[in-house]
């Protein structure tokens, strides 16, 4: 059948008119690529002139409708392998109004400027255009609808990552990716400062990047001309509470399938390449993890990474990496780890026949008269409370191991942590090998969060901006908005992560933590614990963490679990 015309009303709603007077309802983002005269194949069970979103399938050169979608299970592995937890997800092209509203909300976390408004809305009642970061109410009382996400182009298409199984307080959309045709021109700045014009066209066949979307007043006409063999990932944004979960890399991976299977964004020509221009890639390896290779910097100094989809593209890319002197030097790699390894404890921690009691003195000073009378009636005047926490306890913690102290609240986990911090035992010996120690015991030993923006604070602590960014990324506080946020602007889960970042910035050989995830919901506590465990393993930090939460215990996957209670220690080594 032939396409006779198209109408694009919104990104989530458009119509296409086919020969035989059949009207297809679809998203505007799909409809905008169909030109009058295009030949398409329609499949439907219905014999009627107007077909809704779910009532047909359409093919052109590639499948065009229903929109691209993939169900995914994303397994988070523990630091030593094995499943820590999993996400049930659906990655699909954005198609509902609510999808685009979620994208606009997520965009706020990406933009680094407070003044920059991320979306334009339009009031259908009075026709006024409103700029706002989340759905505004018009002064006329009308309910605004999302017109455009700023920074996107009429050629952009969006992939969203939907959480299929979620708790009521978890977001529905965890992240999104924006896919565009190539930008019209791209020049290279060499490390010695020279400018090389149209660098992509020197590495790959020039027609792969042309004709592209040039914008302008008549954007429908501009879209009709786009026919490239490359696609550009223009944005990957993950919800700030779900960073460092591998979801960004997952979105990129699904986008590669989308481009491969459907020739997205325009669906007119088989694609050879996907590329991205991403300053973030210097500090975060998620594009490289998926298989992207770094080739060069743009004229404004931003790195460009490419993923070849065809053998031909791979040959051009490898040839450039071999022949270009600058590319030969970096070998296609951009990200460099800078946190590295700590020195590590010089020997094991040992407790030998340790006795330690907990004492507190109760008296009635300073109480209200009535309370004092009641307590006196119970026979409480002044009482010394004494309890043996450890009675002849032995323990050995080898360097670079992960230890969880488990047990009921008040069983003595904190007392044991205090011994490891150097508080003397009542009897027996505690042998501490030395090394740099960092600790968090709420209300007793805390690194003040301060008021400086996160990155500034970590930079001052570590003296190296790359390492500071790496620590923030590793605890899941990655992106420019969070880098410049102040601690008081963070959510509880993010603040917990920043606390860990501050402890890790000290590059400790031994890290002691007491109930660090106490105020977090189950999924957040698990995510924070998994990130902490992985980083300690990689860096060689000995971790002793007290927790009574099974999900934290499980996500840390410790070498030793030490059950504390009733005077004794029961040590259970990790299975397997
Ligand atoms: Zn209005």
- pLDDT tens figures, 112-153: 455 677 888 999 899 999 988 888 889 999 889 998 888 889
- Between the CA of 192 and the centroid of ligand 1 the distance, in Å, is 54
Q: Which of 435, 398, 445 is nearest to 509 (CA)?
A: 435
* Distance between CA atoms of residues 310 and 229, nearest Å: 10
- The residues near 411 (Cβ < 8 Å, ≥ 6 apart) are 389, 564, 565, 566
134 C-alpha to center of ligand 1: Å?
16
- The C-alpha atoms of residue 173 and residue 97 are separated, in whole angstroms, by 13
How many Å apart are CA 175 and CA 89, to the nearest integer? Answer: 11
Q: How far is the CA of 16 from the centre of ligand 1 (A)?
A: 29
Among the listed residues 109, 187, 194, 103, the one whose alpha carbon sits nearest the alpha carbon of residue 149:
103
**Span from the CA of 149 to the centroid of ligand 1 (angstroms):** 19
How high is the pLDDT of residue 307? Answer: 98
pLDDT in tens, 465-522: 989 998 998 888 887 788 888 999 888 888 888 999 999 999 999 999 998 787 888 8
Ligand 1 mean position to 444 CA, how many Å? 55
Residue 144 CA to ligand 1 center (angstroms) comes to 7
Cα 453 to averaged position of ligand 1 atoms, centre (Å):
38
Centre of ligand 1 to C-alpha 68, Å, is 35
Which residue shows structure tokens 């509470």?
Answer: 241
Cα(8) to centroid of ligand 1, in Å?
22
Find the 124 Cα to ligand 1 centroid distance in Å: 7
CA of 139 to the centre of ligand 1 (A): 6
CA of 142 to the centre of ligand 1 (A): 5
Sign of the Cα torsion 319, 324, 326, 328 reads positive
CA of 110 to the centre of ligand 1 (A): 28
Neighbours of ion ligand 1 (CB under 5 A): 123, 125-126, 128, 138, 140, 142
Residue 549 alpha carbon to ligand 1 centre in Å = 50
Interval 61-105: pLDDT, tens: 999 999 999 999 999 888 777 888 899 999 999 999 999 999 998
DSSP H stretches of helix in 43-160: 97-110
Spacing, Cα 151 to ligand 1 middle (Å) = 24
- What is the structure's pLDDT at 114? 54
Neighbours of 411 (CB within 10 A): 19
Contact 28, 59 (CB under 8 A): no
Q: Are strands 402-406 and 542-546 parallel, antiparallel or unpaired?
A: parallel
Task: Compute the distance from residue 162 Cα to the ligand 1 centre, in Å.
Answer: 31
pLDDT of the chain, 576 residues: tens digit per residue: 999 999 999 999 999 999 999 999 999 999 999 999 999 999 999 999 999 999 999 999 999 999 999 999 999 888 777 888 899 999 999 999 999 999 998 887 765 455 677 888 999 899 999 988 888 889 999 889 998 888 889 999 999 999 998 888 899 999 999 999 999 899 999 999 999 999 999 999 999 999 999 888 888 999 999 999 999 999 999 998 898 889 999 999 999 999 999 999 999 999 999 999 998 898 888 899 999 999 999 999 999 999 999 999 999 999 999 999 999 999 999 998 888 889 999 999 999 999 998 777 667 777 888 888 887 787 776 666 777 788 899 999 999 999 999 987 777 889 999 999 999 999 999 999 999 999 999 889 998 999 999 999 999 999 999 899 989 988 888 877 888 889 998 888 888 889 999 999 999 999 999 987 878 888 888 888 998 998 899 999 999 999 988 899 999 999 999 998 877 889 999 886
pLDDT given for residue 113 in this prediction? 52
Q: What CA–CA distance (Å, rounded) separates 275 from 232? A: 5
How far does residue 132's CA lie from ligand 1's centre (Å)?
Answer: 14
140 CA distance to ligand 1 middle (Å): 4
Structural contact between residues 512 and 544, judged by C-beta atoms closer than 8 angstroms:
yes
Pairing state between β 427-431 and 50-51:
unpaired
Cα gap 459→302, rounded to integer Å: 22
Q: Position of tokens 């323990």?
A: 395
CB 117 within 8 A of CB 133: yes
Query: ∠ CA 473-478-483 to the nearest 5 degrees?
Result: 110
Alpha-carbon Rg of the chain, whole angstroms?
29
- Scan for tokens 């942590």, then name that residue: 417
Phi-psi label, residue 138: left if phi above 0, alpha if psi -120 to 50, beta otherwise: beta
Task: Read off the tokens for 486.
Answer: 């102040």
Q: What is the pLDDT of residue 112?
A: 46
DSSP structural state of residue 339: S
The length of the chain, given as a count of residues: 576
Q: Which residues contact 301 (CB under 8 A, 6 or more apart)?
A: 189
């Amino acid at each position: 059948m032939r396409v006779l015309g198209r109408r694009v009303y919104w990104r989530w709603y458009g119509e296409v008119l086919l020969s035989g007077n059949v009207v297809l309802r679809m998203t505007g983002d799909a409809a905008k690529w169909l030109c009058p005269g295009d030949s398409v194949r329609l499949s439907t069970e219905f014999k009627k002139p107007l077909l809704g979103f779910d009532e047909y399938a359409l093919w052109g050169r590639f499948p065009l409708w229903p929109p691209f979608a993939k169900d995914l299970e994303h397994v988070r592995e523990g630091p030593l392998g094995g499943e820590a937890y999993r996400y049930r997800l659906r990655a699909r092209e954005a198609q509902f109004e609510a999808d685009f509203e979620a994208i606009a909300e997520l965009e706020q976390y990406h933009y680094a400027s407070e003044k920059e408004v991320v979306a334009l809305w339009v009031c259908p009642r009075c026709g006024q255009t409103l700029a706002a970061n989340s759905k505004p109410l018009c002064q006329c009382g009308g309910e605004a609808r999302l017109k455009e996400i700023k920074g996107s182009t009429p050629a952009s298409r969006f992939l969203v990552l939907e959480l299929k199984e979620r708790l009521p307080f978890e977001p529905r959309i965890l992240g999104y990716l924006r896919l565009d045709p190539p930008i019209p021109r791209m020049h290279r700045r060499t490390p010695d400062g020279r400018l090389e014009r149209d660098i992509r066209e020197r590495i790959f066949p020039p027609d792969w990047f042309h004709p592209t979307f040039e914008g302008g007043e008549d954007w429908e006409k501009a879209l009709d001309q786009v026919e490239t063999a490359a696609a550009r990932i223009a944005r990957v944004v993950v919800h700030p509470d779900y960073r460092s979960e591998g979801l960004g890399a997952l979105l990129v991976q699904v986008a590669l399938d989308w481009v491969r299977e459907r020739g997205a964004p325009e669906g007119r020509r088989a694609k050879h390449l996907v590329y991205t221009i991403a300053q973030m890639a210097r500090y975060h390896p998620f594009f490289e993890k998926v298989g992207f290779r770094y080739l060069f910097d743009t004229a404004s100094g931003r790195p460009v990474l490419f993923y070849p989809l065809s053998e031909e593209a791979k040959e051009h890319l490898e040839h450039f990496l071999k022949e270009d002197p600058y590319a030969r030097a970096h070998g296609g790699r951009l990200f460099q780890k800078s946190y590295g390894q700590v020195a590590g404890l010089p020997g094991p921690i040992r407790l030998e026949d340790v006795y330690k009691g907990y004492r507190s003195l109760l008296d009635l000073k300073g109480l209200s008269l009535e309370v004092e009378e009641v307590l006196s009636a119970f026979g409480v005047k002044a009482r010394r409370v004494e309890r043996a926490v450890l009675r002849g306890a032995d323990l050995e913690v080898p360097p670079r191991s992960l230890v969880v102290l488990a047990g009921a609240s008040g069983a003595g986990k904190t007392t044991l942590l205090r011994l490891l911090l150097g508080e003397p035992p009542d009897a027996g010996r505690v042998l501490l090998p030395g090394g740099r120690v960092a600790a968090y015991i709420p209300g007793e030993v805390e690194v003040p969060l301060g008021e400086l923006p996160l990155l500034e604070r970590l930079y001052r602590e570590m003296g190296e901006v790359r390492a500071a960014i790496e620590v923030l990324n590793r605890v899941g506080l990655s992106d420019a908005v969070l880098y410049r946020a102040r601690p008081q602007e963070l959510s509880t889960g993010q603040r917990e992560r920043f606390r860990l970042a501050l402890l890790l910035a000290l590059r400790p050989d031994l890290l002691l933590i007491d109930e660090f995830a106490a105020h977090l919901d189950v999924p957040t506590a698990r995510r924070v614990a998994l990130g902490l465990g992985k980083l300690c393993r990689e860096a060689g930090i000995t971790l002793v963490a007290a927790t009574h939460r099974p999900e934290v215990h499980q996500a840390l996957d410790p070498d030793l679990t030490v059950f504390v209670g009733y005077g004794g220690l029961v040590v259970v080594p990790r299975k397997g």
